[in-house]
Chain A
Amino acid sequence: MLRVVRRASMSLGKRAFLRIASILFALLLTGFILSILKYNSLQVYGEMVFGAVGSSYRIQETINKMIPLLIMGLGLSVCYRAQFMNIGAEGQFCMGVIGATYLIRLSGTSLGAMTIPVMMLFAVVFGGLWCLLPAFLKRFYGVSETLVTLMMNYIALKLVSYLQYSAWKDPKAYGFPKIANYPDEALLPKVFGIHIGWIIAISFVIIIYILLFRSKLGYEISVMGDNFETARYAGMKTTKILFSAALIGGGLCGLAGMIQASGIEKTMNDQISSGMGYTAIIVAYMSRLNPLALMVGSFLFAVLLQGGEYIQSSMRISSDIAEILQGMILLSILSSEFFTEYRVSTRKKADICSSHKTCSY
C-alpha cells in the first residue's frame, strides 16, 4: 500500500535538484503536447533557446523582457512577504504608464534633463496609490485584497484604452487611435545597447534586498507576514507597515510601467502590459520572494517569452506554446513543493513474534 509520510527537512542541494527536475518535467509534458501536434520537441526547445540567447541582439531583447518582470517581481515580493496578496501588478503597471504619460502631457519638454526623474516619480506615485486603495479597504473594511487588486487591473487597463482612443488621442495621427510619441527628453538613454532600465532594476535588487533583510521595516514586514497577532502584540504599527508594503509594491510596478513606456514603446498604448503583471506573480513565487533569486527567475521567464516569440516566426508555431510551457512550469514547480514536505513510501509488516514487554516491578 502506498502512503504519504512527512519527511525530515530537505537539504538545499536537494531542493535545487527538485526545482530543476520539475522544470525538466514540464518540458517533458509540453514535449508530449508538441509531439501530438507533430513537432519535434527537441528542435522547438533548441530554437527557443537560440531565439532568446543566440545573438547579442536577441540577448538584448531577452533582457528587455526581463527588466519589467524583475522590477515587478521585487515589488510583489515585498507585498507577499507582508501577506498582502497583491495580484494587481498589471493594473499598477498601467497606472505607472498613465502617470508618466500624464507628466509628458503636462510639461512637454520644458523639464529638460529632469523629465525622466519626474516621470519616474509620477509613475511610482500613480502605481503606489493604485495599490494603496486595496490596502486601505483591507485594513479598515476587511475587504479581500486579492479580489480588489484583480478587479482594479481591468479598470486600469480600460482607462489606458479610453485615454488612447479618445481623451489623449494624437490629433496629428490621421485618425489613428494612438498617443503621440514621447519627446526625446522622455526616452531612457542606453548603456551597452540596452536602455538603462537594467541598471535601475539591479539597483532595486540591492535596495529591496537591504530593505527586506537589513532594515527595521523589512523585519516588521516579515513578522507581520508571519503572524499578524504577534506584530500587534509587539506594538508594531501594523497599518503603517501594511501601507508601506503596498506603496513600495505598487510603486515598483508603476516604475516598471514607466520604464517599459519610456525605454521600449516610446508611448502609451493598451498593449503595453501584455500580461507581464501576471507573469511577474509566477516569477516572484518561483524565486521564493528572494530578490537575488528573482534575477535568475525573471531571466528564465524572459527566455521563455523571447523564445516563444522567436519560434513563432522561425518555425511558424504559435507563441502560445511558450505560454503552455510557462503554465506547465508553474504547475510542476508548485506540485513539487509537496515533495519538499512529504515522501511516498510503502508500509512494512513487522515480525509478529516479539511478545508484550512485562515490567520487572
Chain B
Amino acid sequence: MATDDYVVMQNICKAFGKVTANHGVNFSVKKGEIHALLGENGSGKSTLMNILAGIYAQDSGTITINGKYVDINCPKDAIDLGIGMVHQHFKQVDVFTAAENIIGGHSRSLFIKKNKNCQKIETLCARFGFNLDPRKMTYRMSVSEKQTVEIVKALFRGATVLILDEPTAVLTPQETTTLFETLRNMRDESCSIIIITHKLNEVMDISDRVTVLRKGESLCTLNTVETTPEQLTELMVGHAVNLHIPFRKINEDKKAVKLEIQNLTVKAPDGKIKLDNISFSIKSHEIFGIAGIAGSGQKELCEAIAGLQTADAGRILLEGKELISLNPSERLGKGISIGFIPEDRLGMGLAGGLTIEENIVLKSYQAQKSFFMDHRASRKAAELLIEEYQVSASNTKQTVRSLSGGNIQKVLLGREISQNPTLLIAAYPVRGLDIAASHFIYNELNKQKERGVAILLIGEDLDVLTSLCDRIGVLHEGRLMGIIDAKSRTKEEIGWMMLGQKAEEHHAKSC
C-alpha cells in the first residue's frame, strides 16, 4: 500500500438484496491525482463512490482519510470530511440562480449573505478556471453549465476529494475538453479527483491512475501511462473484446426511400418550439443517425414519428402514406408497422410491473379476434424471444422490472423486431448496457438494416454513431443543422454542429 494515499477504502462490501454490488473492494486515491474508476455497468463503480459520498452505508469494510478511520453515515458526514460528489443527474432548483443553488443547504446562519457568497464563488471560479456567472438562473443554463454549478458547489463546501459520476455523458467533445482542462487545474491545486467512466479514451486522456472493477470486485490499480485501452478492456470485460463496430455497406441502387419528413414543426404545450421546420428522409437498408446535445428535440422527433406527439406543421410519409393525423391505434388498424425503442424503456414501451409474457404481446394482442387473451400464445412468444435473444430470465412469468438493463432492452428490441417493422426508431438503445450487450444491439441493428428496414438511430456516443450510421443529421435546439455522410467527417466537426454551427454548404448539398 502506497504511503501517500489520502483516501483508502478497504474490503468494502455492499449488497442490495440478492445482488452483491461490491465484494471486498479496495480503492485508494492520492492528493493531487486524477484517478479513473473504470468498469462496465453494474460493476459497482457508482455504488462504491456513493458509499464514499455517504449516500449508501457499506455492509462491511473500512474507510480511512489521511490515515484516520472515518465513519460516513450520511452525505453531511462526507461533506464535512471534504468529499464532494457530482452525480449523473443534477439536483438543482430551476428557479434559483447558480449562487443560490451553490449555497443552498450550506449556510448555517439565518440570513443569506448574497453578495459575500457571490464574491466567494467568483474567487473560486477564477482560481480553478471555471466560466460561471453566479447570478444566472438555472433554467437558462446548458447541461454543461449546470455541471459546472455542481462542481463549484462541491468546492464551495470545502471538497478536496471530488467524485464525478460519468461527467462526459452529457457533454459535446468541446465541452469535455474544457472540463478536463479545469480538472487538471484542480489536480495541480492538490485536489483528489475520482472520475467514474466506462469510456476508455477518456481514461487514457485524463487520468493518472486507473482502478478497474469487474462484477463488484476491484481487479487492480494501474498507472495510466503503463497501460493500453486493449488491456483495460480485457480487464473490464474478463476476456479480449473486439471493440470494432462493423459497418455494412449496401449498394445504393438497392435502397428506396421509406420515411420522408417534410417541414416538421412540433411545439411544446407552452408554445416553445421543440422541432423547427425539419426535413429529411430515410431509405431502406440505411441507418440514419441523429446527433445532438440531450434535449435538442430528439424525443419530440421520435414521438412525432411514432404518433405519440401531435405535430403542429409538416408531413410525415411512410412509404408514401401520410402518418401525421393517425394516432397509434389507427395505425395498427391500417397495418402500418413502426418499431419504436424509446429512450426511457421502463418509462414508455414496457410495463415494468408486468411479466415478460404480458410485455411481449403488447403490440400484437389487438390483432387477436377473441375477447379473451391467448395466454398460451403469449407464453410461446415469450419463450421464443428468450431463446432467440438469450435473455437471462428464470421464466416467462418474471416481471420485466426485475431483469437487468441489458435483458430489459433485449425484450423490448426483440418485441419490436418481431413485428417486422418498415421503420425502426431506436433512441439511445445501448444506454446503460455493458459492452457485450451493446455489441449485441449494434449487430441486431445491422441485421435489420440488411433486411431492408429503415432505421432512425438517436445516439449520444459520436464514435458509435459515426461507425454504425450511413448518414447523420445533427440537431441543435430543435433545428437540423445539417445532414452529413457519417464517414466523411470528424467527431469535432459534428461537435461544432451540435453547438449550433451550420454544416458547410457544399457538404449539405452532397448528401
Q: Check A216/B368 contact, CB under 8 A, given A226-B353, A227-B350, A358-B221.
A: yes
Q: Check A356/B365 contact, CB under 8 A, given A222-B358, A226-B351.
A: no
B443 contacts partner chain A, Cβ-Cβ < 8 Å:
no
Tell me the smallest distance from the CB of A103 to a CB of chain B, in Å: 30
Is there an interface contact between A226 and B221, defined as CB atoms closer than 8 Å? Answer: no
Q: Which residues of B1-43 have CB atoms within 8 Å of chain A's CB atoms? A: 1, 8, 10-11, 13, 15-18, 24, 26, 28
Is there an interface contact between A235 and B332, defined as CB atoms closer than 8 Å? Answer: yes
Which residues from B are CB-within-8-Å of A237? Answer: 329
Is there an interface contact between B57 and A347, defined as CB atoms closer than 8 Å? Answer: yes
Q: Check A233/B342 contact, CB under 8 A, given A219-B358, A359-B219.
A: yes
B62 contacts partner chain A, Cβ-Cβ < 8 Å:
yes
Which residues from A are CB-within-8-Å of B8? Answer: 356
Which residues from B are CB-within-8-Å of A234? Answer: 328, 362-363
Q: How far is the CA of A351 from the CA of B13 in the complex (A)?
A: 12
State which of B17, B218, B353, B370 has its C-beta within 8 Å of the C-beta of A8: B17
B130 contacts partner chain A, Cβ-Cβ < 8 Å:
no
Is there an interface contact between B328 and A230, defined as CB atoms closer than 8 Å? Answer: no
B107 contacts partner chain A, Cβ-Cβ < 8 Å:
no
Q: Check A356/B348 contact, CB under 8 A, given A216-B368, A233-B308, A350-B62.
A: no
Report the nearest B residue to A348, measured CB to CB.
Answer: B60
State which of B1, B227, B354, B373 has its C-beta within 8 Å of the C-beta of A214: B373
Is there an interface contact between A214 and B372, defined as CB atoms closer than 8 Å? Answer: yes
Is there an interface contact between A215 and B371, defined as CB atoms closer than 8 Å? Answer: yes
B403 contacts partner chain A, Cβ-Cβ < 8 Å:
no
Q: How many residues of B contact A (CB 8 A)?
A: 57
A355 contacts partner chain B, Cβ-Cβ < 8 Å:
yes
Is there an interface contact between A357 and B218, defined as CB atoms closer than 8 Å? Answer: yes
Q: Which residues of A329-361 have CB atoms within 8 Å of chain B's CB atoms? A: 347-352, 354-361
Is there an interface contact between B372 and A215, defined as CB atoms closer than 8 Å? Answer: yes
Q: How far is the CA of A355 from the CA of B218 in the complex (A)?
A: 12
B331 contacts partner chain A, Cβ-Cβ < 8 Å:
yes
How many residue pairs at the A-B interface have CB separations less than 8 Å? Answer: 122
Which residues from B are CB-within-8-Å of A347? Answer: 57-60
A236 contacts partner chain B, Cβ-Cβ < 8 Å:
yes
Report the nearest A residue to B58, measured CB to CB.
Answer: A347
Tell me the smallest distance from the CB of B186 to a CB of chain A, in Å: 25
State which of B24, B226, B231, B371 has its C-beta within 8 Å of the C-beta of A216: B371
Is there an interface contact between B351 and A235, defined as CB atoms closer than 8 Å? Answer: no
B306 contacts partner chain A, Cβ-Cβ < 8 Å:
yes
State which of B222, B306, B332, B350 has its C-beta within 8 Å of the C-beta of A230: B350
**Interface flags, B209-230, vs A, CB<8A=1, else 0:** 0000000001111100011000
Q: Check A348/B349 contact, CB under 8 A, given A355-B1, A356-B8, A361-B220.
A: no
Tell me the smallest distance from the CB of A353 to a CB of chain B, in Å: 9
B327 contacts partner chain A, Cβ-Cβ < 8 Å:
yes
B238 contacts partner chain A, Cβ-Cβ < 8 Å:
no
State which of B10, B17, B402 has its C-beta within 8 Å of the C-beta of A354: B10
Q: Check A236/B329 contact, CB under 8 A, given A8-B17, A215-B372, A358-B220.
A: yes
Tell me the smallest distance from the CB of A91 to a CB of chain B, in Å: 29
Tell me the smallest distance from the CB of A237 to a CB of chain B, in Å: 6
Is there an interface contact between A233 and B349, defined as CB atoms closer than 8 Å? Answer: yes
Q: Which residues of A200-256 have CB atoms within 8 Å of chain B's CB atoms? A: 214-216, 218-219, 222-223, 226-227, 229-237
Q: Which residues of B305-329 have CB atoms within 8 Å of chain A's CB atoms? A: 306, 308, 327-329
A172 contacts partner chain B, Cβ-Cβ < 8 Å:
no
**Interface flags, B61-89, vs A, CB<8A=1, else 0:** 11000000000010000000000000000
Report the nearest A residue to B330, measured CB to CB.
Answer: A235
Which residues from B are CB-within-8-Å of A215? Answer: 371-373
Is there an interface contact between B13 and A350, defined as CB atoms closer than 8 Å? Answer: yes
B288 contacts partner chain A, Cβ-Cβ < 8 Å:
no
Q: How far is the CA of A232 from the CA of B340 in the complex (A)?
A: 13
Q: Check A350/B358 contact, CB under 8 A, given A358-B220, A359-B219, A359-B221.
A: no
Q: Check A219/B373 contact, CB under 8 A, given A226-B354, A229-B348, A235-B328.
A: yes
Is there an interface contact between B332 and A227, defined as CB atoms closer than 8 Å? Answer: no
State which of A8, A227, A349 has its C-beta within 8 Å of the C-beta of B18: A8
State which of A1, A229, A349, A355 has its C-beta within 8 Å of the C-beta of B60: A349
Tell me the smallest distance from the CB of A5 to a CB of chain B, in Å: 8
Q: How far is the CA of A222 from the CA of B358 in the complex (A)?
A: 10
Which residues from A are CB-within-8-Å of B348? Answer: 227, 229-230, 232-233
Q: How far is the CA of A152 from the CA of B353 in the complex (A)?
A: 32
Is there an interface contact between B59 and A223, defined as CB atoms closer than 8 Å? Answer: no
Which residues from A are CB-within-8-Å of B26? Answer: 355-357
Is there an interface contact between A216 and B308, defined as CB atoms closer than 8 Å? Answer: no
Q: How far is the CA of A235 from the CA of B333 in the complex (A)?
A: 10
Which residues from B are CB-within-8-Å of A360? Answer: 220
Residues of B within 8 A of A (CB): 1, 8, 10-11, 13, 15-18, 24, 26, 28, 57-62, 73, 218-222, 226-227, 231, 306, 308, 327-329, 331-332, 340, 342, 346-354, 358, 362-363, 365-366, 368, 370-373, 375, 402
List 20 contacting pairs A-B, 8 Å CB cutoff, sorted by A: A5-B59, A6-B17, A215-B372, A219-B373, A222-B358, A223-B354, A223-B362, A226-B351, A227-B348, A227-B351, A231-B351, A233-B306, A233-B348, A233-B349, A235-B331, A347-B58, A350-B60, A356-B1, A356-B28, A357-B26
Beyond A223-B358, A233-B306, A356-B28, 5 extra complex contacts between A and B, CB < 8 Å: A222-B351, A347-B57, A350-B61, A354-B10, A355-B1
**9 nearest A-B residue pairs (beta carbon):** A359-B220, A235-B328, A8-B18, A350-B60, A226-B351, A235-B329, A229-B348, A8-B17, A226-B353
